[in-house]
Chains A and B, each alone.
Chain A
Amino acid sequence: MKLRFSASDEAFRVEVANWLRDNLCGEFESIRFRGGPGDEHSFVEERKAWERKLGEAGWTCIGWPQAWGGRAASIEQQVVFNEEYARAGGPGRIGHIGETLMGPTLIAYGSEAQKVKYLPAIRSGDAIWCQGYSEPSAGSDLANVKTKAVFDEQAQVWHITGQKVWTSLAHESQYCFVVARTDPQAKGHKGLGFFMLDMDQPGVTIRPIEQLTGTSEFNEVFFDSAVCSADDIVGKPGEGWQVAMALLGFERGVSTLGQQMLFQNEFNDIVQLAKRNGADRDPMLRQRIAEAHIGLRLMRYNTLRVLSGSDQGELQAEGMIYKLYWSSWHRNLGKLAMDVMGADSEILEAEPYALNRLQSMFLFTRADTIYGGTNQIQRNLIAERALGMPREPRGNNE
């Protein structure tokens, strides 16, 4: 155990901080502290430009191997980067699905040709990806995917037909990774494929879904014989479930560091507000602010503790526990923000429905306990997989 950063990590910190100071300004001044949880829909074009800016300077995908344009940054360096990024008010990363989910999955499971085709554009910040898992009948029961993939021998392409739903940022993405059924006879986890699909084609229709925030960040996506080349399936037909699950493992890994830094910024905003509006004199709110701080620090320590023991930057059993902890913590933070705001928490900034950042954060935290595996599903996983308790019958589709 050694709970401090090395001299070279501190030098790296200075390098990151200087770069951000010199570059997160001018045309990018307006997006500082924007695009975080509940604010994903805002400043999309500016944030895409920012991704490319980061990419040019080698500040995307810093944990990736050097062979794929990364810096092979150590966990410590990634921690430092995320700390400095948040401190500088770095905007929500619109490229995060590519960088933290698709990229690592390809590096681990993709073919050489796939890596060459897709990784550079993720690294440079040019390609935005979205996640096509959920369907109307496949939410918690993700394996109940009905979207079909049919192989056309002659043309050597897959035809994808079906519907995805709740697809975040689909309308801003060039690519979508899609879980679809390659074997029409198979049920559940079997007979699935994992496809990388170009969104810019006639077979793809995207319809935004309005959220209770009045904004749209997620979509319905319809595939009508959308074309996917034979080379764009990760793993073999039938191995889609394994790839899809491996990808979720990365979701719980090192990518959580950046998220915690955003939480830290939100927490600081709430404390500042409490000091300004006098909520800091309320003994009950003071206790809740202390609780929030304790939870936030626990999450940091625990992530660092667990990452210290892993080479890949992936979390194992502990990772399952993390989603439940942060989503519940964040939901409480959202309520705390509203209680600190007081009577004005119900007043909008402008018509027709412009929420301020804390208000949208509060509402968004109600989704945190749902997406990426609901709290109920997480508890089942912890009890059954981490603790080894007897399995609850899941129903017909097992």
Chain B
Amino acid sequence: MNFTFNDDQLLFRDSVRDLLSNEVTAERIRQRWDSDSGVDSAALQSLVDLGLTAALVPEEQGGLGLNTVDFILIAEECGRAALPEPIVDSCLVATPMLVDADRALEGSDSRLGELLQAIASGDQTVLCGPSINPYINFAHSADYLLLPHGNEVHLVAIDAVQLELQTSVDLSRRLSKVSWQPRSETCIARGEMGADLWRSTLNRGALANAAQLLGLSEAMVARSVQFATDREQFGRPIGVNQAVKHLLADCAVKAEFAKPAIYRAAYTVAVAPTRADWSVSHAKASAGDAARAASRNCTQVHGAMGYTWECDLHIWMKRAWTLDREWGDAGFHKNRIHEWLLQPNALLGPQYTFGRRHLGDAVNPTIAV
């Protein structure tokens, strides 16, 4: 039993954090709002150079062969920076879906392997549009979309779909409603295999958002701590007041306790993504709770300043608002938890806190993975 990350994982996280804090400033995020594509290609290229797009691609296909646990801290950093580009959606969600499909097909569909190579090198991007999300973020910037038709998984080139752009409250997001026609040649999986792929993908997507929500929460708290130290009222920093301290301390506690849920879910997704429903929902619910509290309390700490467009806080606040809902809102995830818990044969004893013993047990879906 070991909850810690190894040196490589931490080093990877640190280099991504450094890069993001230099290249993805609030000022440059605002510049994206005025651009058509919403993408800062220089920043994006730096992330490709650091190996983000290659991370979860297998080594055979030119990738780094890393897994969800290796990438979870990176997703957190992308949240902390409020990174607009859909790096986490493509690298932590769509790419593994393709990898899983390629494995299940044992490499029989050469398109997948080739695409994975192009993803690793940063030449092509794939995003996915599960039925739970009515819109796809940055669909216009992708080369391919993974789309559902019942249980089927379709790999559809971007020029074969129609995109209807929507404006989000978070101007960093570029949402599209996607219309398309399923064809037999775009279908890469169906039946059980398709259902499993979508199930894993829902878990990866929710986990990806949970990690970003955690990063967003910590970033909002950090800014607010700074603000409460600099802003003076009654001749001293407002942070002197217990009421202000407690607002931020409450957020810190929620964020801190969302961490183990997220890391545990990352582990489960890495080893058994189709059976990570419960732990992923736990992570998403906890991270969402932390992010909602941070949005509320950090605005409060900023006073009227926090209600202005000029103050950067709303960049984070609005992102948290949207990511909290995407890939299943709090209600969806709490439902998954109680439906699992209240089953007659749910395994609830302390010995099931970590369900490794039961990992191979495919018959009983209620095990505590």
Interface, chain A (partner B; CB < 8 A):
134, 137, 139-141, 144, 165-166, 209-212, 214, 218, 282, 284-285, 331, 335, 338-339, 342-348, 350-353, 355, 359, 366-367, 369-371, 374-376, 379-380, 392, 394-398
Contact = CB atoms under 8 A, between A and B. Distances in A.
B308 A397 contact: no
Contacts of A366: 296, 299-300, 306-307
B243 A376 contact: yes
B234 A398 contact: yes
A140 B329 contact: no
Nearest to B244: A376
A392 to B, nearest CB: 8
Closest 6 CB pairs of A and B: A396-B235, A395-B234, A376-B243, A210-B309, A348-B167, A141-B233
Given A380-B243, A392-B242, 7 more contacts: A134-B304, A140-B234, A346-B321, A348-B166, A353-B171, A370-B303, A396-B235
Contacts of A212: 306-309, 311, 314, 317-318
A211 B307 contact: yes
B244 A395 contact: no
30 contacts: A137-B232, A137-B233, A139-B303, A139-B304, A140-B233, A140-B234, A140-B238, A140-B303, A210-B308, A210-B310, A212-B308, A338-B321, A344-B134, A347-B135, A347-B167, A347-B168, A347-B169, A348-B169, A350-B167, A355-B169, A366-B296, A366-B306, A370-B300, A370-B303, A376-B241, A376-B300, A392-B241, A397-B234, A397-B235, A398-B234
A283 B316 CA distance: 30
Contacts of B173: 346
Interface of B: 133-135, 166-171, 173, 175, 232-236, 238, 240-244, 247, 292, 296, 299-300, 303-304, 306-311, 314, 317-318, 321-322, 325, 329, 331, 334
Given A209-B308, A370-B303, A376-B243, A347 B166 contact: yes
A140 B134 CA distance: 43
Contacts of A370: 299-300, 303-304, 306-307
Contacts of B304: 134, 139, 165-166, 218, 367, 370-371
B167 A353 contact: yes
Given A139-B304, A212-B307, A346 B325 contact: yes
A346 B235 contact: no
Nearest to A366: B299
B233 to A, nearest CB: 4
